[in-house]
Structure 1
Amino acid sequence: MATPSPASGEIGDYWICRTCGANRAPSDTAPADCPICEDDRQWVPRDGHHWATRGELAAEGYRTVFRPVEESVVGIGVEPGLGVGHRGVLVRTGGGNLLWDPPGFLDQDAVAEVERLGGVAVVASSHPHMYGSAVEWADLFEAEIALPEADAHWLQRPSDRVRTWSGEYRPLPGLAVVQTGGHFPGSAVLHVDEGPGALFVGDTVMVTPGGHHVTFLYSAPNRLPLPERLVRRVVSAVEPLEFDRIHGGWWEPRIEAGAKELLVRDAERYIRFLNGDLPDYD
């Protein structure tokens, strides 16, 4: 894959949904709807949709922050929290960098820092709630947007940079994006083949508070469980991968060791609870 061109030009004053972080193209008026919020995996505030331009959020004090995550992985977040509050990561490889789960907001300082780190060759996401500012990043760095075919229609900003894929996609050396389904039909995880291996899962797999377990949800905000057949599909999709660590879609928590065995064990635990097998409960 060709090395991406250095970023040039100004960041567009695109629209950002304050509730989910989805992006829409610049326009004179705020969007009237947000399909992602209106889906039963998300929610619409009682007083309706809330959109703001990137410039408005910058004026309110929103900014991009960077923190190390692993040796070749840098986290990219937004403060204060926006949308679902997730952070993205820039995974650096000898063949180019992949931006995973980009937040909905970015600023010029973020662009300058990513350019210093080697730019962006590919933008990819775990699921539509975390498509964020994918189009803006891709336009700035002339990068590819890798979307699972099953969920590509959720991208709210049309782009000719989109490359659809199914099953598994290996965009850069040592990286694989694997379709697991679950939360969305195209929900995916990013496998980083470094050391014992790591999975970046967004909330395709939910790392629970404390970092001791994982669980599976159709909707986290609406507390809707994932059916057994879809949990087993997730486990089957990651079974061929070697990984010792799991990073969720937020700064914390994460699984630091023994992650593959823990995921398999906790999937069975989840299914037992789903089927009513509650130990020591009358």
Structure 2
Amino acid sequence: MNPGVRQCAVCGVEYDPEALPGLCPICADERQYLAADRRQHWVDPADFAGSIDVVETEPGLWSIAVDGGPGIDQQAKVIVTEAGNVMVEVPASISERAVEAVRALGPLAAIIASHPHMYGLQSLWSRALGGATVYVSNVDREWLGVTPEPVVYWGGEIELVPGVVASQPGGHFPGSCVVHWVGRDGAGVLLTGDTIGVNPDGETLAFMRSYPNRIPLSAGVVLRIADHVERYEFDRIYGNFGGAIRSMGKARLRASADRHAAWARGDYDHLTGTG
């Protein structure tokens, strides 16, 4: 596989080798971080020597997990539908074996990243899987290191294939999106990326401008995000790092948003001591 791109060793996002920036702008931003030596390191995707597992998460939904590659270890998902499949988030590594495993699930119609941290090797995955259309939030297109082909810039809400809808609550990035789909059991499923983070307890959710640098969003923005996603019916929520809410997703999201807003407003300052 001849990739024809380079990628940032820290975030794993692809860049044009003929136009490499001095620093990866995604990592230089306050939401991410540079390498410990504060220098930029580029890698060739062709040098990947790790492993990529494609495993069923639930009927009709598959996860792609990379071990031993560059980047921040996001897990992509593939929604399998009769109208074509949709990859949500993009691995920061690629291999012939992984491509064959995804191809075996059926034709890939669309690729969409919830926000720029998840762009990964989206142009390579698209090319390897027959030229699947890559959907990029119009307001976040400035973060592209490589312009995929074919690409659709979008805003608001869009149906990627019949029954799979993406929309943009914003927050983490202005164009941060969620993807909604109805599972094989008839229950709604929400894939949230970093727009809404699944906490380790598997019951609550987080809303952050930066997760690694612990920068929160305001109470108003968090409640706006919750209001936005409540247009959908959903029972389960999947994040992009393996976390999941397995039941009561809509109620748990609202409770988590209300809790965040209350702490941000100062409602619970009496629990923090007197200073």
> Does TM-score exceed 0.5, indicating one fold?
yes
Q: Secondary structure at the match of 1:177?
A: strand
Instruction: Please name the residue that 1:161 is paired with.
Output: 150
Q: Does 1:138 align with 2:107?
A: no
Q: Does the aligned pair in 2 maintain the 1:87–1:249 contact within 8 Å?
A: yes
Change (3 A) 1:269 1:116: same
For each residue in 1:172-229, what CA deviation from the matched residue of structure 2 results, as whole angstroms up to 9, or x when unmatched?
1210001110000000001012221011111110111120210110001111001122
Counterparts of 2:55 and 2:88 in 1: how far apart (Å)?
A: 14
**1:191 aligned residue:** 180
Q: Does 1:242 align with 2:230?
A: no
State which of 5, 29, 33 in structure 2 corresponds to 1:14. 5
> 1:202 is paired with a residue of what secondary structure?
coil
8 A Cα contact 1:30 1:52, kept in partner: no
Tell me what 1:278 maps to: 268
For 2:94, the equivalent position in structure 1 comes to 106
What is the aligned length?
Answer: 268
TM-score by length of 1: 0.90
1:115 lines up with 2:115 in the alignment: no
Match of 2:14 among 17, 20, 23: 23
Aligned to 1:67: 55
Task: Give the counterpart of 1:41 among 31, 34, 37.
Answer: 31
Note if 1:257 corresponds to 2:247. Answer: yes
- The one-character-per-residue Cα deviations of 1:129-149 (angstroms, maximum 9, x if unpaired) are 001111111122211111111
In 2, Cα distance between the equivalents of 1:131 and 1:46?
22
Q: Cα offset for 1:276?
A: 1.7
Give CA deviations for 1:29-48 in whole Å, capped at 9, x if unaligned. 97532010011111112311
Letter in 1 for 2:57: V
Aligned twin of 2:79: 91
**Structure 1 pair 206/161, CA: closer, same or farther in 2 (3 Å)?**
same
Query: How many angstroms does 1:13 deviate by?
Result: 4.6
- Cα offset for 1:81? 5.5
Give the one of 165, 174, 189 matched to 2:163. 174
1:71-110, Cα deviation, whole Å (9 max, x unpaired): 0011011102531211101111101011110111111111
Greater relative CO, 1 or 2 (CA 8 Å, sep 6+): 1
Contact between 2:156 and 2:168, CA under 8 Å: does it hold in 1? Answer: yes
1:25 is displaced (CA, Å) by 3.0
Identity of aligned residues (%): 34
Query: Residues 131 and 149 of structure 2 are in contact (CA less than 8 Å); yes or no, is this contact kept in structure 1?
Result: no
TM-score by length of 2: 0.92
Aligned to 1:7: none
Instruction: For residue 19 of structure 1, give the secondary structure of its aligned residue in structure 2.
Output: coil
| CA distance in 2: counterparts of 1:175 and 1:52, whole angstroms | 34
> Which letter does structure 2 place at the counterpart of 1:67?
V
Cα pair 2:54 2:102 within 8 Å, conserved: no
Unaligned stretches of 5+ residues in structure 1: 1-9
- 5+ long unaligned stretches in structure 2: none
- CA separation of 1:53/1:30 partners in 2, compared to 1, >3 Å: closer, same or farther? farther
State how far apart, in whole Å, the 1-side matches of 2:50 and 2:17 are.
18
1:208 and 2:199 matched: yes
